[in-house]
């Protein structure tokens, strides 16, 4: 009877980390299979201009960058499969990955490069209006807001980028931030603060989004407190200012949570915030043969260029692991 084929390496996720791992693994003749996940190309595919990726002095479109990355990986022999992992068994070699399309794949090594997904606030109106005026992606939905007044929530680079992008379409953009200081890099913060169509509501949070799927978003309820973090202040019984603001669009730019749900029963340890824990000097996780790269294991830098770097490291680490299995006397995982 023919044995089911065992892959050398499967890369879970197809953002820059996964693509970079695929290029290195393919060039090492490991015939990598890349599982694209629900967001092929990852977060960059939803980004406009990338200005800080090495080698592009004029900047490069996020979508173009990931398209070229995939082409480069395929050129060296990586194959891309549109599927997500729903269940992983890393308890023995070979590992098995059960996919969203029903397929089960066997592999000797895995690179986790599943990235992170947009955070939400969990406030009233959010579930009902997501996709109906509420969005986590200005690049995707900004063009629906020509002539509108919109709100962007957050004080980091993503929120500033969203706000700047939205000025192309909206009449007014109001950034709502829970403190009176931005977390964003100086260059983006300065651009947003100096932009005529962007105004800031400091020490303010959204407590409700109003509207309906038929009418889309119509207004938001704002809480403010002079010392910031108004929701926490309200919950602690302090007085907060409450106000309603008429807007037709709301964009969240409040960061991302790592996509690690399928790792629950696998022995791959994660931080309290669910980021995969890797070895201090390599991309090795707490399971031999499983490596992690990019935002899924990075609660600090979260840059395209660092994700690409750790992707390359993960492929090199996996290659060394596979060589060690090959050389071990019983062809088993060394302990």
Binding footprint of ligand NAP on the chain (CB under 6 A)? 52, 119, 121, 153-159, 161, 178-179, 183, 205, 253-256, 302
Q: Which of 8, 141, 298, 317 is catalytic?
A: 141
Helix (H, G, I), strand (E, B) or coil at 20: helix
Q: Which of 140, 171, 180, 279 is catalytic?
A: 140
Q: Which is nearer to ligand NAP, 108 or 178 (CB)?
A: 178
CB of residue 295 to ligand NAP, shortest distance in Å: 8
> Catalytic annotation on 141?
yes
Q: Is 60 exposed, middle or buried (0-12, 13-18, 19+ CB in 10 A)?
A: middle
CB of residue 111 to ligand NAP, shortest distance in Å: 21
Q: Which is nearer to ligand NAP, 76 or 202 (CB)?
A: 202
CB of residue 65 to ligand NAP, shortest distance in Å: 12
Q: Which residue has 């070699």 as its token pair?
A: 93
> Catalytic annotation on 140?
yes
What does the alpha-carbon distance between residue 277 and residue 298 come to, in Å, rounded to a whole number? 9
Q: Which of 137, 149, 288, 299 is catalytic?
A: 137
What does the alpha-carbon distance between residue 203 and residue 181 come to, in Å, rounded to a whole number? 9
CB of residue 119 to ligand NAP, shortest distance in Å: 6
> Catalytic annotation on 137?
yes
Give Cβ neighbours of residue 12 (< 8 Å, ≥ 6 apart). Answer: 18, 35, 37, 85, 97, 110, 111, 112, 113, 114
CA dist 323 → 97, 118, 160, 328 (Å): 22, 37, 45, 9
Beta-strand relationship, 149-153 and 249-252: parallel
Catalytic residues: 137, 140-141
């Amino acid at each position: 009877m023919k044995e089911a084929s065992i892959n050398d390496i499967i890369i879970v996720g197809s953002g820059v980390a996964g693509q970079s791992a695929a290029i290195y693994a393919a060039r090492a003749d490991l015939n990598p299979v890349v599982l694209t996940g629900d967001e092929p190309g990852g977060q960059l595919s939803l980004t406009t201009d990338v200005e800080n990726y090495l080698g592009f002095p004029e900047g490069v479109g996020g979508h173009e960058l990931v398209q070229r990355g995939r082409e480069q990986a395929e050129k060296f022999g990586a194959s891309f499969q549109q599927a997500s992992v729903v269940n992983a068994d890393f308890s023995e070699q070979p590992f098995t990955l059960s996919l969203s399309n029903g397929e089960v794949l066997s592999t000797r090594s895995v690179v986790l490069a599943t990235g992170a997904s947009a955070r939400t606030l969990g406030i009233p109106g959010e579930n009902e209006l997501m996709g109906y005026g509420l969005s986590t992606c200005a690049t995707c939905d900004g063009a629906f807001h020509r002539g509108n007044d919109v709100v962007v929530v957050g004080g980091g680079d993503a929120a500033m980028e969203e706000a700047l992008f939205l000025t192309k379409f909206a009449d007014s953009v109001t950034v709502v931030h829970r403190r009176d200081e931005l977390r964003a890099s100086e260059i983006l913060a300065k651009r947003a603060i100096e932009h005529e169509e962007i105004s800031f509501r400091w020490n303010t949070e959204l407590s409700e989004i109003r509207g309906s799927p038929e009418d889309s978003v119509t207004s938001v309820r704002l809480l403010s407190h002079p010392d910031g973090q108004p929701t926490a202040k309200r919950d602690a019984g302090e007085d907060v200012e409450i106000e309603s603001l008429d807007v037709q669009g709301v964009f969240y730019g409040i960061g991302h949570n790592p996509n690690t749900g399928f790792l629950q029963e696998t022995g791959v340890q994660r931080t309290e915030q669910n980021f995969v824990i890797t070895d201090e000097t390599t991309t090795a996780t707490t399971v031999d043969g499983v490596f992690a790269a990019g935002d899924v294991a990075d609660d600090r830098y979260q840059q395209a260029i660092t994700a690409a770097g750790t992707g390359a490291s993960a492929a090199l680490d996996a290659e060394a692991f596979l060589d060690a299995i090959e050389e071990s006397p019983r062809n088993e995982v060394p302990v």
